[in-house]
Amino acid sequence: MKPGIDDQSKPQTMIQEKYTKRYQNLKVAEALSNNHLYPFACNELSSIIDLGYSQLPKDLKAFIFRDCLSAFRLLPEMNTSAAVSAANLLVKSVESAFPKQKKNLAIVEFKQAKVALKRRTKSHDEHIDLPSLPQDIFVHIFSFLDLYSLLSSSQVSRSWNQATSEGSLWRSLFDLHFSHKVLIHIYPGIDWREAFKNEYILYKSSKMLRSGRGYCSYCDSVVWHDNLRCPKKQCRLKSGKKPLDLMLTHEVVNYLLGTTSSSDESDSEDEAVRGLWAYPTLQ
């Protein structure tokens, strides 16, 4: 059942409220203060604005405007390039879609943020080397990282690279991502990193690296996943080892607005196949 078709039969105001409610449930604003999720949240905002800001109900417009402002206000605290590019994207969407007054307010906010950001990077002085930590501490730290960050860390320096090759890290990642659908023969000396890589390629799991969102069928909502699980405790207990279905930005936006746009990325065939029909509509 295509999302959005049911809405046409209902009165206009009820539809508006539904969008707003859905948006609030998405909790985009909460993610903005999270270093890791900030780019994802900004991308969602950009996509929503691009898709049809003018057609949105009035209160939803207000929410989006408020969240854009907070996104820009929080930008200086995010010192990643991903955050900066996400914010740039957002400001472009704002420039093209927002009405004049709101646009100016948002752009002022953005410019201030950029200035603050510049000030931060300038004051970043070269202080002495940080103490080197023992290898097993590194492994312990890496055990808390998601796949993307672990791969990033492996490219940082030689010692970090060695630390990331630790089998236990990849074993738990394998367990997290694949154990619910793969039976693997474990022999002594198994290279968990290779095993993980094989499964990753097999299942074309590139989503893992590019998604902060997942759909939880137990609470029937789109959430920011916490290590591939629903942040709610009850759902985690119910789902056991099964991770969430990961969702990309455009899928989230489609879910929110009941549209069927696809992503610009080249491997959107994957997404098109799964489509929106995997996620039941909000009635």
Partner 1 sequence: MSESDMAIIKPEMMKSYIWLETSDGSIQQVEQEVAMFCPFICHQVLQKGAGSSKNNAISLPQKVNPAMLSLIFDYCRFHQLPGRSNKERKVYDEKFMRMDTKRLCELTSAADSLQLKPLVDLTSRALARIIEGKTPEEIREIFHLPDDLTEEEKLEPLKNTMDDPRIRLLNRLYAKKRKELKEREKLKSIEVEEHVDERSVDDLLSFINGRDHKVVNTSKSKKKNKKRKEHKNGTCKVSNKDSHNLHSKQRSVDETSSSLGGVSNLHNIEDDIFSRKAEFEDGYIDDEIDPALKEMLDREVEDFARRLNSSWVLSVGQERQPVHFSINGNGDTRRLTGPAARHK
Q: Which residues bind partner 1 (CB under 8 A)?
A: 35-37, 39, 79-82, 124, 126-127, 129-131, 133-134, 137, 140-142, 144-149, 151-158, 160-162, 165, 182-185, 187-191, 193-194, 197-198, 200-202, 206, 209-210
Q: How far is the CB of 70 from partner 1 (least distance, A)?
A: 19
Residue recorded with tokens 């320096």: 157
Task: Tell me whether residue 7 or residue 146 sits nearer to partner 1 (CB atom).
Answer: 146
Q: How far is the CB of 16 from partner 1 (least distance, A)?
A: 34
Q: How far is the CB of 3 from partner 1 (least distance, A)?
A: 28
Which residues does 208 contact at the CB level (< 8 Å), separation at least 6? 147, 148, 177, 200, 246
Rounded Cα–Cα distance for residues 13 and 118 (Å):
45
Task: Tell me whether residue 127 or residue 233 sits nearer to partner 1 (CB atom).
Answer: 127
Task: Tell me whether residue 39 or residue 258 sits nearer to partner 1 (CB atom).
Answer: 39
Among the residues of 53-191, which ranges form H helices?
Answer: 58-74, 81-97, 100-122, 135-142, 147-154, 158-164, 167-178
Task: Tell me whether residue 95 or residue 191 sits nearer to partner 1 (CB atom).
Answer: 191
Q: How far is the CB of 25 from partner 1 (least distance, A)?
A: 24
Q: Calculate Rg over the CA atoms of the chain.
A: 21
Q: How far is the CB of 140 from partner 1 (least distance, A)?
A: 5
Rounded Cα–Cα distance for residues 61 and 66 (Å):
9
Sheet of strand 221-224, all strands in order from the earlier edge strand to the far edge = 221-224, 213-216, 245-247
Task: Tell me whether residue 16 or residue 198 sits nearer to partner 1 (CB atom).
Answer: 198
